[in-house]
Amino acid sequence: MCGIVGVINETHPDAMRTMLARTSHRGEDCQRFREFDRFGSLGINRLSIIDLDRGDQPIFNEDGSVAVVCNGEIYNHQAIRSDLEKDHDFATRSDAEVIVHLYEEYGDDAVKFLDGMFAFILFDLRRGRVLVARDPLGIKPLYYRADDETAYVASEPKALVGLGSEGVRELPPGCCWTRESGVVSYFEPGLATSNPDPELCRSLLTYAVRKRMMSDVGVGTFLSGGLDSSLVTALAARENPDITAYTVGMEGAPDVEMARKVAEHLGIRHVVRTFTVDDMLALLPEAIYHIESYNPSLVTGAVVTLMASRLAAEHGARVVLCGEGADELFGGYSAIRSLSFLELRRKLQELLRNLHQTELRRLDRMSMAATLEARVPFLDRDFVEYAFNLPSSTKIREVDGRRVEKWHLRKAFEGLLPDELIWREKCPFDQGSGGRSMIPIIEDAIDDATYERRCEEYAPWSIRSKEMLHYFEIWRSHFDDLLEPGKTFDMFGDYPVLMDQIADRGERARAESPTGPESTTGSTTEGTTAGSEGR
């Protein structure tokens, strides 16, 4: 896990140093770059997870003619290695090394063999070729910006500020890029209706969690108290009963109380840190810098996720398992709960297609801001193909007069956790943690005349609320160079499907506040408990 950067078509040491400095938070174990004359440069900020001693990058093939820098984890690297080692000499135990040897055997099709989350830049020095690729769902990010014949590539847009004359572009999920062919899609998800099978659902998710326990360092979980993170935590605890779960939220917030019950039920170590509105407001500019977005749904969630990431990192975790992806697969959002079944499938497809711009962006940026690797079992490729293709009638079902989201997932895991949790109605992450409590304070600080004037001034950037205006002005202070009418909103401000809910977030936040006005000030507290002691 790391941050990768590259310059294609020329060596540019000053640009490499700049890009590495701006993404140094993504990996603090090793920072270096290599120049390849008349070809380009590859660089990395490494967070060591697999083969701590020998896995530094760039990684080369046997004769040094193929080099790669890779961000992510290849979960099937051992299986690939067992086939390739008959004809190739491996110099490390790093999962990334399989990429160079696969490329020697299969060329650009090498990417099709990889099961995991990844973004990589590969130089074929003998043939004068470049291959840039990204995992099928876009769990790991990759951006580029060009200037005449030179291209700058990096894990985060902030690394590209001031470099290149064209706008920043994102390599789409499931795509690779070469100089010969440009951007080409290599992955198309299967579209065949799955037969609902609770046992298969359990088996696929259990195996997805087991895969993601692969690590040479400590693995923990984020436990928000919602269904998705609780299921992942419960399955991870079966693999490792000594696992630690991490929770942040306002004292008295519904998710915090439920997370405590889950940890006690599982008998695992549980670290809880509570925060106040003042804590959130203080962290807001930094969160916006790291999330690289001014979308309100992303920003409030980002502040809470950054707190959780730092909590886990402070307690020695280097990897955490998380529950992202289940809402997009099983229809967890209230905004789509009342759709017809055919409409539901289309909306879920749109949410899943754009997940790299929404919740995966939040999770990647905030975890990596704390130099922490986040893994997402629900987005295992086999589980995604099964879950997405389930009949819509099994995802949202009428039960006792209300439409229950994620019905099949809940039914499949009955008995693993208490019914109180399994059948609990979904509460949005930033609501259940108390994160929305800062919205009224932000909106009350902007008068109507100022808001109307700024909305007109910022018309190309689609400001929808006072809250969004505040976030945009902070975003702009960091990324003014990336302002591009007609493009900025799509890349940094949009949340596809759910944008209609942005305008009335302030009004809803006032009504939903879980803790009351007394929580607007106060100090942060922390507690560590073991579930067995909690009994």
CATH code of 109's domain: 3.60.20.10
Alpha-carbon distances, residue 278 vs 249, 260, 282, 295, 470 (angstroms): 13, 24, 6, 21, 16
Of residues 144 and 501, more confidently modeled = 144
Contact status, residue 133 vs residue 111, Cβ threshold 8 Å: yes
Give the Cα separation of 531 and 343 in Å (integer).
Answer: 42
Q: What is the pLDDT of residues 378-425, one digit of tens each?
A: 999 999 999 999 999 999 998 888 889 999 999 999 999 999 999 887
User: Is 455 one of the catalytic residues?
Assistant: no
Q: Are residues 181 and 54 in the same domain?
A: yes
Q: Are residues 228 and 340 in the same domain?
A: yes
The verdict on residue 164 lying in a domain is yes
The verdict on residue 500 lying in a domain is no
Q: Are residues 222 and 139 in the same domain?
A: no
Q: Which of 185, 211, 243 is the last residue of a domain?
A: 185
Listing DSSP states for 466-533 in one string gives HHHHHHHHHHHHHHGGG--TTTHIIIII--TTTGGGSTTHHHHHHHH-SS-GGGGS---EEEEEEHHH
Q: Which of 138, 153, 185 is the last residue of a domain?
A: 185
Q: What is the pLDDT of residues 139-170, one digit of tens each?
A: 999 999 998 889 999 999 999 999 998 999 99
Q: Which of 150, 185, 220 is the last residue of a domain?
A: 185
- Residue 460 in tokens: 């190309």
Q: Are residues 120 and 180 in the same domain?
A: yes
Total of domains in the chain = 2
Q: Are residues 211 and 342 in the same domain?
A: yes
- In the chain, the N- to C-terminal Cα span, in Å, equals 37
Q: Are residues 129 and 210 in the same domain?
A: no
Least confident span in 25-29, 109-113, 138-142, 153-157: 25-29
The verdict on residue 488 lying in a domain is no
The verdict on residue 483 lying in a domain is no
Contact status, residue 498 vs residue 333, Cβ threshold 8 Å: yes
The verdict on residue 451 lying in a domain is no
Q: Are residues 174 and 214 in the same domain?
A: no
The full 3-state SS of 213-238, as one line of letters, equals CCCCCCEEEECCCCHHHHHHHHHHHH
Q: Are residues 73 and 181 in the same domain?
A: yes
Give the Cα separation of 254 and 136 in Å (integer).
Answer: 34
The verdict on residue 153 lying in a domain is yes
| 2, 70, 175, 322: the active-site residue | 2
Q: Are residues 355 and 236 in the same domain?
A: yes
User: What's residue 278's pLDDT?
Assistant: 94
Q: Are residues 157 and 274 in the same domain?
A: no
Phi-psi region of 145 (alpha: psi -120 to 50; beta: other; left: phi over 0): beta
Return the percentage of the chain with pLDDT > 70, whole number.
92
Q: Are residues 71 and 220 in the same domain?
A: no
The verdict on residue 525 lying in a domain is yes
Give the Cα separation of 234 and 427 in Å (integer).
Answer: 19
**Structure pTM?**
0.92
* E strand segments, 250-351: 269-274, 319-321
- CATH code where residue 309 lies: 3.40.50.620
**Structural domain containing residue 334:** 198-438+520-534
User: What's residue 48's pLDDT?
Assistant: 62
Does the pLDDT value for residue 119 go beyond 90? yes
Q: Which of 156, 147, 84, 86 is nearest to 114 (CA)?
A: 84
Does the pLDDT value for residue 431 go beyond 80? no
Q: Are residues 159 and 292 in the same domain?
A: no
The verdict on residue 498 lying in a domain is no
